[in-house]
Amino acid sequence: MRLLPIIIFTFLLNFSLNAQTKPWQGKFEPIDNLIAAPNTYRTASGAPGKDYWQQRANYKIKATIDEKTNTLTGEETITYFNNSPDELTYLWLQLEQNVNKKENEDFGSINNEMKDFITTRKMQFLTRTIDFPAGYSIKQIKDANNQNLKIMINNTMMKVKLNEPLKSGEQISFSIAWSYPITDRSMYTLSREGYEYFPEDDNNAYLIAHWFPRMAVYSDTEGWQNQQFQKLGEFALEFGDYDVEITVPADHIIAATGTLENSESVLTKTQLKRLKDAKTSFEKPIMIITKEEADLNKKNKSTNKKTWKFNAKNVRDFAFASSRKFMWDAQAVKLPTNTVMAMSFYPKEGLPVWQEESTRAIKNALEVYSNATFDYPYPVAISVNTSNIGMEFPMISFNGGRPKNGKISEKAKAGMIGTIIHEVGHNWFPMIVSSDERKWMWMDEGLNTFLHQRTLKERYPNYSHVTPKKIVPFMTGDKNILRPIMTTSDNELFNQFGANFYIKPTVGLQMLRNSIIGKDLFDEAFREYANRWKYKHPNPADLFRTLEDATATDLDWFYKGWFFTTDYVDLELSNIKWFKVHEENSNLEGKNTTLNAKIEMSGPHGETTAKDFSNGPEIINMISTPDKDYGQFTSRLDESEMRKQLSGKNIYEITVKNIGGLVMPVIVEWIYSDGSSEIDRIPAQIWRRNEYEIKKTFIKNKEVVKVNLDPNFELADTDMNNNSFPKTDSKSEFDRFKSKKSN
């Protein structure tokens, strides 16, 4: 027997050591090991720390579009501010135009499956059978002393080697001259920029984006941003001021980031008067460039040149669109702290729906997003019509959606309006709350889609909206290929990135707002995050921590399941027991009398599972509490009062099983014999001690005839057929869902 203590000690020691090397990671354990530790740059509360820093880059750019050769030529001076504590011996710039080179490392890898039948356009995407020139020609790079700087180009990134180290707190100016062939957007997949050709009138509409060499981000969490541009993961950029001059054919109209500085030089007196009137037109848009004026421009095709000058403050990028085909309308939008000009540019192919709806959609987005976060701070918000795209840049977005022969279906119209709202909304995420799209696409797409859907619900209630049910098919997909939200942008499967980076984060935020935290508290926390990190670079941990900090709610269990795993929600209402208390005072300690319910089967642990409520309640005796159970307390419960309070009441014990793996709040709908109903909400913390099965007891005045879990489909439960008692067949439950969804 002397060996027994040694054996027990050895077992406990091994268990302890194993626990240290493999810590328990239950669903409610902190996510500290999954996110970066807080520091003086980023605090444990999710706010920027006292030592937070970020770099800055100002740009002076002159560019010219040669319409005959479809070439853009430019020169720029970049002033780069080293606000980091580090000394830099080289700089990295982004050269996104190089992604269009045929030898690009990611060429043809998006949706690259060959089939028995394939369209010529799809074959062009995969093989570039018809080749075309693409990518930057860097002509020179010089420092402020006109000395050449050495460079090395790695695909879509360019290293500039400095002649002298750039110390902390210093700045450097250098100039670059470059050119590149503007590509035909119809010739390659995921075309965010380029030109669209219109054969009918032999004209182009130029969408010019990621068009100049620009500074990559150098941050406290990554150093130099080092992920190549591969089209899905978009941009990580620094804030700065822009002075831009763009020379185009004299009859072109330009829409651009920033304020037009020389309107008197590029617009007629009549157009200037219209633009001035639009600044006080709060009820409807005013046409600045009419259809008749655009038609005249298309017909004449001027060979002269005109330079447009723009200035933009504190933005992280600059984009523009140019065409002689553009009509232009504008309307003032009054926000609590400023007035914004909402403007739309479109060719005749966008009529009539763009003239009717585009600027109104911008206005709706500006108002709803501003109310949810902070007032839109820039002077203009622009929507430009093009084909097959929805793409955002500071103050300007390129948006698809066109009628055919002047007619558009309600579905297509809704899609167009949704696209405009979504892309305008990107001004907040990530153009101002500047997350790294190249690394965490969900931080801009998910948060933006969440507010985009809120805008649709508030301003276009008849349009369909994303709800938790929308994500169910995705979450029940093949676990061998599903990936969690916390997946780097370019590493997601092409046919899944929409669900994983747009819809699933949106649904997660909807659940936090509507079912877990509550609207008022969540809205305040979301607003806190937006204001903490506007004009800064947040990471996922900053969002996670801020939502907890501003709500006093432990959400690690939700983050862990929803963002870091591919588990899904499937809560099963596996059993309900109905009791009434025997009203006579009984001292038969440990004994009770029971009216047997109708039994369908026994559970795996011997528990009985009732089929329905038809046999009435089980009767239980509530015995007096023995003195020994009170320990050292000398006071006693008023047992007669307890019996009085329970007299005639119905006691229901529910058993809920976690089939899918994700813990969630338990939402219980009670339907009573008189036809009335009510809902009880049990916080997710009920799963803390048992993540697989919970029991909960309720006292009800009325008799229950039916119980449903998640009756309003708030939690993305993947199997609603196991959510009810008495049990229902699959068809009836599916019909119930369809009926509820349609209502």
Cβ contacts of 52 within 8 Å, gap of 6 or more: 41, 42, 220, 536
Q: What pLDDT shows up at residue 610?
A: 66
d(CA 597, CA 613): 8
Q: Give all strands (DSSP E) within 104-156, no chain letters.
A: 137-143, 150-154
d(CA 138, CA 70): 17
Q: What pLDDT shows up at residue 26?
A: 86
Q: What pLDDT shows up at residue 144?
A: 96
Measuring CA to CA, which residue among 311, 347, 82 is closest to residue 217?
Answer: 82
Measuring CA to CA, which residue among 59, 49, 26, 10 is closest to residue 221?
Answer: 49
d(CA 441, CA 318): 20
**Residue at token pair 């055919």:** 404
d(CA 500, CA 498): 6
3-state helix, strand, coil in the chain (%, to 5): 30, 30, 40
d(CA 84, CA 595): 75
- Considering only residues 593 and 301, tell me which one the structure prediction assigns the higher pLDDT: 301
Handedness of CA 101, 106, 107, 111 (dihedral sign): negative
Cβ contacts of 583 within 8 Å, gap of 6 or more: 643, 647
Please state, in angstroms and as integers, the Cα–Cα distance from residue 507 to each residue in 83, 370, 459, 464, 549, following that order: 38, 21, 19, 14, 21
Tell me the sheet residues that pair with 586.
none
Cβ contacts of 8 within 8 Å, gap of 6 or more: none
Both tokens assigned to 254: 């330009």
Lowest mean pLDDT among 212-221, 328-337, 473-482, 731-740: 731-740
- Considering only residues 607 and 87, tell me which one the structure prediction assigns the higher pLDDT: 87
What percentage of the chain reaches a pLDDT higher than 70? 89
Q: What pLDDT shows up at residue 5?
A: 47
Measuring CA to CA, which residue among 448, 423, 57 is closest to residue 243?
Answer: 57
The CA-based dihedral angle spanning residues 561, 565, 566, 569, taken in that order and rounded to the nearest 10 degrees: -10
Q: What pLDDT shows up at residue 106?
A: 57
Both tokens assigned to 139: 């002509």
- 444: pLDDT strictly greater than 80: yes
Q: How far is CA 434 from the centre of its chain?
A: 13
Lowest mean pLDDT among 61-65, 97-101, 160-164, 543-547: 97-101
Q: What pLDDT shows up at residue 608?
A: 57
The architecture in CATH of the region 196-211+240-433 reads 2-Layer Sandwich (3.30)
Tell me the sheet residues that pair with 310.
244, 260
Lowest mean pLDDT among 259-273, 481-495, 709-723: 481-495
Cβ contacts of 680 within 8 Å, gap of 6 or more: 667, 668, 670, 698
- Residue 693: what residue type? E
| Average pLDDT of span 484-495 | 82
Kindly list the domain boundaries of the chain, sorted by start residue. Answer: 196-211+240-433, 571-742
Q: What pLDDT shows up at residue 58?
A: 98
Q: What pLDDT shows up at residue 120?
A: 87
Measuring CA to CA, which residue among 58, 434, 62, 57 is closest to residue 242?
Answer: 58
Measuring CA to CA, which residue among 501, 526, 437 is closest to residue 233?
Answer: 437
User: In 86-134, where does DSSP find H-type helix?
Assistant: 120-127
- 361: pLDDT strictly greater than 70: yes
Please state, in angstroms and as integers, the Cα–Cα distance from residue 135 to each residue in 61, 77, 130, 387, following that order: 19, 20, 16, 23
Q: What is the pLDDT of residues 203-234, one digit of tens each?
A: 999 999 999 999 999 999 999 998 888 888 88
Measuring CA to CA, which residue among 298, 297, 375, 379 is closest to residue 342?
Answer: 379
Model confidence, pTM: 0.90
Handedness of CA 494, 495, 497, 498 (dihedral sign): positive
Map residue 82 onto helix, strand or coil.
coil
Contacts within 8 Å (CB) and 24+ apart, 632-639? 639/585
Question: Do 362 and 426 meet the contact criterion of CB atoms below 8 Å apart?
Answer: no
Q: What pLDDT shows up at residue 207?
A: 98
Burial of 481 (0-12, 13-18, 19+ CB in 10 A): exposed
Going by DSSP bridges, is the β-strand pair 171-181/137-143 parallel, antiparallel, or unpaired?
antiparallel
| Average pLDDT of span 354-370 | 98
Lowest mean pLDDT among 110-124, 578-592, 653-667: 578-592
Q: What confidence category does residue 101 fall into, taking pLDDT thresholds of 50, 70 and 90?
A: confident
Burial of 93 (0-12, 13-18, 19+ CB in 10 A): buried
Average pLDDT, the chain: 90
User: In 67-202, where does DSSP find H-type helix?
Assistant: 120-127
- Considering only residues 739 and 673, tell me which one the structure prediction assigns the higher pLDDT: 673
The CA-based dihedral angle spanning residues 312, 315, 319, 321, taken in that order and rounded to the nearest 10 degrees: -50
User: What interhelical angle do 504-511 and 556-564 show, nearest 10?
Assistant: 160
Q: What is the pLDDT of residues 270-288, one digit of tens each?
A: 999 999 999 999 999 999 9
Q: What pLDDT shows up at residue 123?
A: 84
Both tokens assigned to 713: 């489909």
- 30: pLDDT strictly greater than 70: yes
Q: What pLDDT shows up at residue 602?
A: 36
Please state the length of the chain: 743
Both tokens assigned to 482: 């599903």
Q: How many CA atoms lie within 13 A of 624 on its CB side?
A: 11
Sheet strand arrangement including 704-709 = 677-682, 666-672, 704-709, 724-725
d(CA 571, CA 721): 10
Q: What is the pLDDT of residues 369-400, one digit of tens each?
A: 999 999 999 999 999 999 999 999 999 999 99
The region, left, alpha or beta by phi > 0 then psi within -120 to 50, assigned to residue 406 is left
- Residue 115: what residue type? K
Map residue 433 onto helix, strand or coil.
strand
Q: What is the pLDDT of residues 587-622, one digit of tens each?
A: 444 433 333 333 333 344 445 566 789 889 999 888
Q: What pLDDT shows up at residue 107?
A: 52
**Residue at token pair 């309307």:** 331
Residue 516 DSSP label: I
User: What interhelical angle do 441-459 and 410-425 show, nearest 10?
Assistant: 130
d(CA 259, CA 253): 14
d(CA 393, CA 343): 14
Both tokens assigned to 81: 């501010």
| Average pLDDT of span 144-154 | 96
What is the number of helices (H) and of strands (E) in the chain?
16, 33
Q: What pLDDT shows up at residue 611?
A: 78
- 108: pLDDT strictly greater than 70: no
Lowest mean pLDDT among 372-376, 473-477, 657-661: 473-477
d(CA 410, CA 700): 47
